[in-house]
Chain A
Amino acid sequence: MRTPPLVYNFYSLLVRWPSTLLTTASIGSTVAVIAGVMALQQGFASLYELGGRDDILVFLRPGATSEGESAFPKDRARIVMMETPEILFDKAGWPMAAGELYLAVRRAKEDGGETNVPIRGVPQTSLTLSAPRLQIVEGRAFAAGRDEVMVGKSLVGRIQHCRLGDTIRINATGFKVVGIFSYDGPFQSEIWGDIDRLGQVLHRPTLSRVVARARPGADVAALAKRLESDKRVPVKVMTEKEYLESQTKAISWTLWLLGSFLAVVMGTGAVFTGTNSMLAMVAARTHEIGILVTLGFRPVAIFSSFVMESIFLGLAGGALGCLLVLPLHGMSTGTTNFQTFTEVAFAFQVRPIVLVTAVGLATVLGLLGGLFPAWRAASAKPVDVLRRV
């Protein structure tokens, strides 16, 4: 089947540039909004993907869905640490495991208002466990038993009293900020200090979770099954990777829902606009279509020619949408993860998948907008269209 050359459609779009431009912009901004929401979701999810490891085990109290809810008496945590054969032991014969305290504390933001910042009381073993991912970028690590803390890099400039040398007041005790650390993942939005001191000041005798390094080849699924129904110390076990992924579900799901809702609603609007433009293009070219038909082009060829033209419009809109959303990449924002009620900072991530979706969506919008006008063009009778001058 011969179709009119694509260059014909291309020139048509150029000649009717005001309409082309407005339709492109309309599709482009629709796609940009949806890509923006997607970039936000990707940024949030990547934060949790980055932080998780397969060889770190997380122990929570049964029933708890996050460490914010979980609580362990210390003696029970000790049994878990000492008597789980899947935990790796260091050269001195001690388990590479740490009981940690986690609490969302109320802190003032630098730009006003309050938010919940996670504070983590850890023993020195936690620092060993999180090396080399945790790195001190300024100052030093807190010392055991001292009223000192180190803060995650993402808090600096966002939360008050989080600069080196500041003092963070908790109840009646001041903790000196002695270090700033980087740690890819949600941990970078946390404050870390000595577990015993924080436990006393916060009046929290319990632990929130136990983390441990797994022995190579340990069967985590079997361990989880065994400990879940353990009579003496029932606990919930998963890898750090699984744990962190479970923490993103609520927000990822909400953003996904919002993105789809916007795609359907705004997409409908964009298809209407595209149809309008293409209808006008067809109407303005009635005479030309007649000539094409007379020249022997089949209706199917004319149909596909106009659909192609509309897809061009969509592609141009997609490209524009990508251009509009690209500057968002790396822009940082923060929101509360309602799984733990704490605020995490993260950056928009315009990943390839976002761009591909944007262009794909734009193409579909162009295609849908072109179907009806192309059908109208293809169903024109040569005599009718040539008669009209």
Chain B
Amino acid sequence: MGAQGDFLQLLHEHGYKLDFFPSHASGVTDPNLSLITRGTTVLAMKYGDGVLVAGDRRATAGNTVMYDRTDKVLELDRYCVMAIAGVPATAFEMARILEHSFKYFRRSQLQDLSFEGKLRALSNLLKENVPAALAGTGAVAPVFAGFDPQQGCGKIYFYDILGAEFEGVEHAVSGSGSPTIRGILHYLNRWGDRPLATLDEEQAIIIVLRLLTSAAEFDSATGGVNYEANLYPIVKRITDKGVQNISSEQLKDLFATQVAHYV
């Protein structure tokens, strides 16, 4: 019985294993591994009201585009999201476990899990997933972002595939397209017109759209905007009011005026 409010323990008691790929030939890399579906560019950035988190929509396996409507910014509860890069099967499963864990804790212990507790929960899952991560079948490197209601501020963390946790003081990126935009973020924050954390929402969204477009330019595994299909990246804002989606109409508008035709 999960009297401690630990959902992962409850899952284990029912025989569940996160590391669901049966055999790991440690140290041997299977040439077919490149055909496993992987996620691509996600980023989180602090701005005036809180944190913006965004991700492109493409999922690839080797050179094949598997899907162009992936939602990689997953809402875990009212105040936090996990943006995923890596093997989606494992990443979506982790998000589902976390979502249930936070609810289970709140409902059983009659208090919200602290922000630090949520970070630890994600670390624990990644740690449990290490064999699959090393075997190449289940590597996930997520970005965790949220609003800490106790401290009244937005926070960003990013993880390596082994579960090490790092705080992104101003921003964090992950995925194959991230090297392209990490440098841009650093440059904008240091030498741009204003530090990123002082931008208003619209300015911040424009930057996020331009960054994802740049990532798609240089990384084949990152999807760009698709006008015909009316497909835009997923962008969410996290403020003291919780997690909210930026509507695709607003993204469409800003994209048309500030990204596509901007000289």
Q: Do A and B bind each other?
A: no
Chain A residues near B (Cβ < 8 Å): none
Chain B residues near A (Cβ < 8 Å): none
